[in-house]
Amino acid sequence: MVEINGSNNEAGLKRALSWWDCAGIIVGIMIGTGVFSIFPTLIAQHNVSFLMIMLVWLFGGIFALFGAMCYAELSSQFPYAGGDYTFLHKTYSSKGENIVSFLFAWSVVLIIRPSSIAALALILANELLKILAFAGFSGPTAILLTAVSATTVLTLVNIFGITVGKNIQNTITLLKIAVIVFLIGFGVSKLHSNLSHFSPLLLPYDKNPFNIMLGFWSALVLSMWVFGGWNEAVYIAEETKSSEKNIIKALVAGLLTVTILYLGINFVYIQYLTPAGLAKTFSPASDLMTIWFGSKGGIVMSSLIVISAAGAINGLILTGGRMSYAIAKNYPGLNMFSSIHPYYRSPQMALAANFFFTIILLVISKGNIGFVENLTYYTAGVFWYFFGLVILGLMLLRRTVPKENIPYKVPFYPILPLLFLLIICGLVWSSIKFKPVETLTGMSILTLGIPLYYVLYLNVKEKGEK
């Protein structure tokens, strides 16, 4: 069965990171492509109101902080590679069985990772075709072919063992932050001549309290996708100086920075595009640059989004293939997916499997950029279900692990974990209510992993007994 390596302390990792270093890592992980492209639009479609749009982004940052604090406590106890998989494996394994961690890996391979790659591929294709508009490429078919081509090329790049360099990735991150700061600063500086665009709409058109609540929670599912990454950012606790104090300082500083940047850029979007205009465009950042600097400004912004999306897709393919490879190694029935390319030394079949599932989702999308929202809800129920199990695992561990053995403790325990569990319930409820087909499809695929696990587990058990 799957084994998790020993403590990183035994491996001698050096505590070299300050809280400032950690905060920078958190910001770099979290700021992605979503805030420049379709997600502000999708959120505005749920809440065509200045106040509600801003509240969604504000609460997204607050809720992410709640979750990050819970993960910080777990990472201080289990500072190993694997993140959520490690937490679930350590918490829910019993008598040699680890179905919970297997199902998490199953969901990552079949649901979470392919849908994230497909969403980014659609965003990349939509922006790239805006740049190539002069060549006559346009429409859903062109977007589909471009998205499939981009996914194919980046998968082949990973199979051939060529990855985007760390310095390039870091440069892209700094560039994205600089662009957000520029958009906010330039937009605010011009507000004196643009006050007529300030939206007077403080409440949604629909005054039904139930519909307002559903719209808010449904939009929150989307904003939490854009805030994604905080659950990966706390795994550096073992390499942080005085981690008990500095991890929480880094989390607060990093998430506060990202939240302010997201609030600022959406404020500017609303002032120049209006809530109704924001709800109609699928490329708010490009449209904003076009308003200010003409078509050349829009092309520059679209180019940045394409580069950013390509880097993110590359990273997801790289790590996704290795997740599939690591799990396949532990189950004889999945041996085919644990093969390594004889020359390039890459997990070729695992990468091919991820590619296959991603292409299925792209074909289903038919090149419709709005399908990004469907992909988000396709993963939402499964994604938040496992987040809930991780938080429950934290509370179970609190009953068995002495307090003095916990390096970092989540503040306001048990109120904060319980509050985060309630938030998770709200996100799952709104996902099922707003997009029942997509949400329940993802959850149904998750359940298919249950019989597969027991077939593989019994196979392993029989071989072990022999």
Q: Residue-wise pLDDT tens for the chain (466 aa)?
A: 434 444 444 444 455 567 777 777 777 777 878 888 889 999 988 876 888 889 999 999 999 888 888 888 887 777 655 567 778 888 887 766 788 888 988 888 889 889 989 999 999 999 999 888 766 677 889 999 999 999 999 888 877 765 555 556 567 778 888 888 999 999 888 776 555 444 445 555 556 777 778 888 889 999 998 988 777 666 565 566 766 677 777 888 888 989 999 999 999 998 888 888 888 888 899 999 999 999 889 898 998 888 888 888 887 787 666 666 666 666 666 666 666 666 666 677 878 888 999 999 999 999 999 899 999 999 988 989 999 999 999 998 888 888 877 877 888 888 999 999 999 999 999 899 889 999 999 999 999 988 888 887 666 555 555 5
Calculate the alpha carbon distances from 407 to 44, 52, 389, 414, 445 in Å.
41, 38, 21, 17, 37
Do 378 and 111 contact (CB within 8 A), yes or no? yes
CA nearest neighbour of 117 among 428, 375, 350: 375
Report the pLDDT value the prediction gives residue 152, as an integer from 0 to 100: 93
pLDDT score, position 244 = 62
| Nearest CA among 75, 282, 258, 78 for reference residue 184 | 258
Between CA 266 and CA 44 the distance in angstroms is 10
The total of other beta-carbon atoms located within 10 Å of residue 7's CB is 12
Residue 366: how many other CB atoms lie within 10 Å? 11
What is the reported pLDDT for 7? 43
Q: Provide the pLDDT for residue 441.
A: 94
Contact assessment for residue 129 and residue 146, using Cβ atoms and an 8 Å cutoff: yes
Q: What is the pLDDT of residue 71?
A: 83
- For the chain, domains (ranges, CATH) are 15-465 (1.20.1740.10)
Contact (Cβ atoms closer than 8 angstroms) between residue 9 and residue 278: no
Are 116 and 379 in contact, with CB atoms under 8 Å apart? yes
Sign of CA dihedral 266, 422, 255, 167: negative
Residue 222 to residues 122, 124, 278, Cα–Cα distance (Å): 16, 18, 15
Token pair listed for 308: 């950013």
The candidate with the shortest Cα–Cα distance to 231, out of 94, 88, 395, is: 88
